[in-house]
Every structure is written in structure tokens, then in C-alpha cells.
A and B are shown apart, each in its own frame.
Chain A
Amino acid sequence: MISNSEKRIKTLELWAAKMRRNVVDICMQRGGYAGQGVALSDVGACIYFDEMRPDGSGWYHDRFVNSNGHDTIINFAAMAEMGIYTLEELRTMGADGSPIDQSPIEGARGFEITSGSLGTGVSQAAGIALGERKKGSDKRVICLLSDGELHEGSVWEAFMFAAHYKLSNFIVIIDNNDLGATGKTSDVMAVEPVRDKMEAFGFAARQINGNSIPEVLDAFEEARSTKDKPYAMIADTKIFAGIDVYQDAIPFAHFVGANGRWDTGHLEWEPGWQEILGKIEHLESELAAME
């Protein structure tokens, strides 16, 4: 007997696999933040295809603010599946004259904010959450930021604010991948213990494996039932999680060039591309068998 929950998780695994495929597809063209996008696809699939409630007109009732410009590749990867962007458009990312920005500007389809200046999104998301509550709306606001963004003082101002105003409609997801622009976050400027810090700042906080869809779903459920406090999901993710051959080739890369190069290594795109296509095929047949 197949339970609903097994089917739900398998469905999300398929969405995540398709998002990974889209991330690789885009980054193969001119390079990109492939490691982060692949690693965040599980969280991203849960946000776009489970947690946010549809508004009935092709978008969402709830609001998602991606503070980290580098991670917005998962927004694109998800929206490609929703038909909001075509892969043909997205493949122009990084080309001169392309309408697709690596870190999008406010007003681009599906983006709430201009996200390229790190740390500025959390205050805005908290402001949106306060505004929605003032209007009497039940919209929930999800804000994704990276562990590196915790270096910016303004995010802590925003955390203090969210707790002070008891914004229980506000969830921050911290992509805890231990990766900054020039090295491991823990080497550049240590941020741990993140969970303790978030609790000390007045959040209900849980640290999870951000590459486990059941754990992400559990955290979202806990967030929904949290009263009088904002919620922090500290999602430990692993660069390139979900595509094994890339992890083996480059366990650590901030930006992978179109030629597969990063300053500490090199990967071949094709084997990973084949791996993810195989996973999608496998998941589709598993889901078909569940029907």
C-alpha cells in the first residue's frame, strides 16, 4: 500500500530532480552558481511545489523572497517547470544582452526584490510579513538566505525586528552550505552555532538536512504551527548534493564556468547531465508504478 506521504515525497523528489536538470542546463551554457542551485533543489521543490499555496491564477498566495542573488537559480529552475520562463530564455543567462540576470532585479517575472546586494532581502521580507499581517492577510512569507549572508549586520537587525514583532507568518531558511565567495564560511568568518544564535534572537529554530525532503516538509509543518515567533529553518546543504559525479569532481565551488572550471578543480558537465536525466526517468517510472 502506497501512502499519500510516500507519493508526496516521491513527487517532490521528481520536481527537485527536474530543477537540478534545469540548473545544470542553464549553467552548462555560460557557467553559473550550479553547486548551490543543485544543492538547494530539494528545499526549492518544497517551497514551490508544496509549501506555497497557489493563488488560482498561476502564481502563489504566499510570498517567497530570495535574499541571496546567487541562489536565485533555483527560482528560475522552478519557474521553468511552471512555464513562467522557457529554458530557451534561461539558457541566455550570462550572455551580453540577455534579459535574464544571474541576480534578478525587482520586477523580473516571479521576483519580489532586487537580490544582488547580499543581506538586504531579510528586512524586506520581514517588512512584507508585517505588512501582510497589518492587512489581516494570512499570507506567509518565506525568506531564503545563505550562511554567508549572516556576515552582514543588517540581517541580524532584521531578525531582531521579526522576533520583536512576533512575526509568526515569517520563515527564514538559512542555506547552511559552509560556502562563501572565497572559501568555507567557517574559515572566512565562522557563523556557527547558527541555530543557537537564531533561538537567542527569538526565533523558533530547527537545524535539518536540507537535502532531505521529509525533513524540509517537517520543518515547514512545525513553522506553520509556531505561534508568536518567527521560524528559522537552518538547512544544511551540500554543494552539488543530488548529482554524485559533480560532488566527486568539485566538492566545493562558488561559481562553475561554462568549461566546468573552478579554481580548485574541474568537472565534466555531461556525466552529471546524464546522471540527472537517468534519475528523472527512474523517479517517473516509480511514480507511475504508485498510481
Chain B
Amino acid sequence: MLLAKEDRQMVPSAFDDISYNLCKRRDDVLMMSADLAHYVDLYKVTKDLPDQYVEVGMAEQNLVGVAAGLAKAGFTPITSTFGSYASRRCFDQMVICMGTSKNTGICIGFTPGITSPAPIHHQGTEDLGMLRAVPHATVIDAMDVTDFAQALDVACDTPGLVYMRGHRGSTPSWLDAKSFKFELGKTYPLRTGSGVGVISCGHASQWAVEASDLLVGEGFDHSLLHVPTIKPVNEQEIIDYCFAHDQIVSIENHQISTGLGGLVSEITSKVGRAPRITRIGVPDSWAVGGSVGHVRQHLGLDAPTLARRIKEVMQ
């Protein structure tokens, strides 16, 4: 299976190594920040590879505009900031400067959704919907250090705008690095079963695994599908998965409109007669602030509540 059976580890400051190793391998890659480098674990590149680091100050529009310019000069720019800023403060630059270009431009939004402790202003819970509405954009929401690092490698060779959600701080290493291979658009069954199919992406795939652990313990039949590529996703894989189950539950670290649940609903509605889809995430409301655990509990996204909500769809 793709999930490592034992040894579920946490990797501290994962992006520090991911970014450093990437820059060491590819001298065309430039890491960029808008005065948040250390807040997204960018230490080694800034210190040891200063030629591959561009600081623009607290100016996200300029961050993305300059990145697009660097791409037009032959570099592969990777901008980093919080997801709330990456999506809201420079959306036009992502669309116009990167989205209409054939050059690769990568924007990573860290502490996405409710993984930021500061409510509303730091919690970007609508970015996936915004970005997947951009023609030809690539949108990735990885679940752990393994698919995040692999997806970033793929992003570096993907033309046009690539928006990724990032992981900062202590990051899980749950996928089996030996068997997992990230491919753009591919969906990944993490647990097989029938009855309820649980589809998730990004940090919410961690939450889905946690809930699934409880359900496995209770003998509740279900399966898990991790969807790291929001756009362009392999629609046939989504359709095949949905029609193999009686009920579908989507879990996402995002508003339940326009994100993964919306995407799955759109895809299955093209076929019709799909199983019912219960969308779980941030339900058209402002999330509270606080630790992720606290916010998850508040929204019914903690493992026990998620497990209960998954079971409920069969009642």
C-alpha cells in the first residue's frame, strides 16, 4: 500500500531540506519570499545559496510579478508566502503574469486553510477554488513531505502557473516514499474497501487517514482516495472511484464550495446517477483561530468526529 504501515514520522522544517535539495540539483530554480522566508522554513537556501534566493519584501503583487519576469529571463521561480496572501493579494498577477505565460511559475501558499492559527486574515480557505478556475493552471494540494517534494519537482517542469499548497513546520511522512510516485492528475487509493468512499486532499488527507484508522478499528467498511492534483485531475479515475461506492464523502481543508468536494460533484454530475456526495470542510463560514486541533474540533474535522460523520452517511 501507499501508506507506510509503521513508522509514521514527522519531519521537522521539511521545506528547508526540500527547497535546499531542489536548488542544489537545479541552478535554474530561484526561491522567493515576501518577508516570510523563515516562517515557511526557508533557512538554508537563504543562507547557503544566496544567488538562488530573491527577497522582495512584504509585497506579494511584486513577488509574483518579479517571479514572472525571472521566468521570462529563463529561471524557474518558486514564490513562497502564506496561502491567504498568495491567493488573495496577488491573484491578478498569478493569472495575468504567470497564467497567460508558457514559462513555469510556481506559487506556494503555506499554512493553507485552517492550518494557520490566526483566523480569517491568515486562513485562506478559498484558494483552491480560485486557482482551479484559472484556465490551464496547475493546482496541487499535497498531503505530506513525500508527495509535496515530488510534486514540486514535477511542478518545475510544468509550463505556466502552478499553484501549490505548502507544508511548514513539522510535516508528516506517511506515504511510503519507496512506492509512492507523484504523477500530475493521478489519484491515489490509500485504503481499499467499499461502502463509503472518502476523497480528500492536502492536510485533510492526513485527517482522513486519522479518521480511517478509527474506522478500521471499528470494522467499518470504507476506502480512502487521496487527490493531490486538484487541476488537471484524472476525471475518469474520480468517476470510477465514485461509482464503485454507495456513498462519497469529501474532506478538505477548504470551503466546501469550489474546492475538492465541488470538483468531485462537477465531475460526477457529467455522468449522472452518481452516489450522494457529502462535502466536509469549512461550511461557508469563517473558521475560528487557534491551534489546528482546536479549529478542527470546532468545525467537526477532528478524527473522532470525522469518523462519526463518515459513518453517518450510511445511516
Q: Chain A: residues with CB nearer than 8 A to chain B?
A: 105-107, 112-114, 116-117, 120, 122-132, 134-135, 153-154, 157-158, 160-161, 164
Nearest-Cβ distance from residue B26 to partner chain A, whole angstroms: 14
Residues of B with C-beta under 8 A to A114 = 96-97, 100-101
Query: Which residues of chain A have C-beta atoms less than 8 A from B65's C-beta?
Result: 120, 122-124, 126-127, 154, 157-158
Q: How far is the CB of B49 from chain A (nearest CB, A)?
A: 13
Are A132 and B73 also in contact (CB < 8 A) when A158-B62, A161-B62 are?
A: yes
CB of B75 closer than 8 Å to a CB of A = yes
Min CB distance A74 to B, Å, is: 21
Q: Does B56 contact A (CB under 8 A)?
A: yes
Say if the beta carbon of B173 comes within 8 Å of chain A.
no
Are A128 and B69 interface neighbours, CB within 8 A? yes
* 4 closest residue pairs by CB, A with B: A127-B69, A123-B65, A131-B73, A157-B62
Query: B59: CB under 8 A from chain A?
Result: yes
Residue of chain A at shortest CB distance from B77:
A127
- CB-CB under 8 A from A157, the residues of chain B are 56-57, 59, 61-62, 65
Minimal beta-carbon separation of B213 from chain A (angstroms)? 46
A-B contacts at CB below 8 angstroms, number? 101
Chain A contacts for B75, CB-based, 8 A: 131, 134
CA distance A116 to B73 in the complex (A): 21
Let me know if B69 and A126 touch, CB within 8 A: yes
Task: Decide yes or no whether B74 CB sits under 8 A from chain A.
Answer: yes
Q: A107-B102, A131-B73 are in contact. Are A120 and B66 (CB under 8 A)?
A: no
Q: Are A131 and B62 in contact (CB under 8 A)?
A: no
Cα–Cα distance between A244 and B72 once the two chains are bound (Å): 40
Contact B72 A128 (CB under 8 A): yes
Distance between B310 CB and nearest chain A CB, rounded to angstroms: 44
Contacts A128-B70, A130-B54, A131-B74 given: A160-B97 contact, CB under 8 Å?
A: no
| B contact residues around A116 at 8 Å (CB) | 96
Taking A131-B75, A135-B73, A158-B65 as given, write out 16 further A-B residue pairs in contact, using a Cβ cutoff of 8 Å, ordered by the A residue number. Answer: A107-B101, A113-B97, A120-B61, A123-B68, A123-B97, A124-B72, A126-B65, A126-B66, A127-B65, A127-B66, A130-B66, A130-B69, A157-B56, A157-B57, A158-B66, A161-B56
Asked if B157 is at the interface of the complex by the 8 Å CB criterion, the answer is no
Q: For residue B37, give the distance in angstroms from its CB to the closest CB of chain A.
A: 16
Q: Are B51 and A127 in contact (CB under 8 A)?
A: no
Cα-based distance from A122 to B59 in the complex (angstroms): 13
CA A161 – CA B63 in complex, angstroms? 10
In the assembled complex, the Cα of A122 lies from the Cα of B73 at a distance in Å of 14
> Which residues of B87-128 have CB atoms within 8 Å of chain A's CB atoms?
92-93, 96-97, 100-102
Q: In the docked arrangement, what's the CA distance between A135 and B93, Å?
A: 24
Q: Are A154 and B62 in contact (CB under 8 A)?
A: yes
Contacts of A131 in B (CB 8 A): 69-70, 72-75
Complex contact A120–B97 (CB within 8 A): yes
Q: Shortest Cβ distance from A62 into chain B, in angstroms?
A: 13
**A124:B57 contact, CB within 8 angstroms:** no
Asked if B45 lies at the interface with its beta carbon under 8 angstroms from chain A, I say no
Q: Which residues of B contact A126 (CB under 8 A)?
A: 62, 65-66, 69
| Residues in A whose Cβ lies below 8 Å from that of B101 | 106-107, 114
Q: Is the CB of A106 within 8 A of B51?
A: no
Give the chain B neighbours of A122 by CB distance below 8 A: 65
Distance in angstroms from B28 CB to nearest chain A CB is 10
- Say how far B271's CB is from chain A's closest CB, in angstroms: 34
Q: Report the minimal beta-carbon distance from A104 to chain B, rounded to whole angstroms.
A: 10
Chain B: CB-nearest residue to A117: B96
Contacts of B61 in A (CB 8 A): 120, 123, 153-154, 157
Assess whether B280 is interfacial by the CB under 8 Å rule. Answer: no
In the complex, chain A residues whose CB is within 8 Å of the CB of B62: 123, 126, 154, 157-158, 160-161
Confirm or deny: B263 has a beta carbon within 8 angstroms of a beta carbon on chain A.
Answer: no
Interface membership of B137, Cβ < 8 A:
no
Q: How far is the CB of B290 from chain A (nearest CB, A)?
A: 32
The CA of A130 and the CA of B66, in the complex, are separated in Å by 9
**Cβ distance B4 to chain A, nearest Cβ, rounded Å:** 40
The smallest beta-carbon distance between B96 and chain A, in angstroms, is: 5
Selected contact of A124 from candidates B51, B59, B68, CB within 8 Å: B68
If A134-B75, A154-B62 touch, does A124 touch B100 (CB 8 Å cutoff)?
Answer: no
A129 CA to B73 CA, complexed, in Å: 8
B67 in the interface (beta carbon within 8 A)? yes
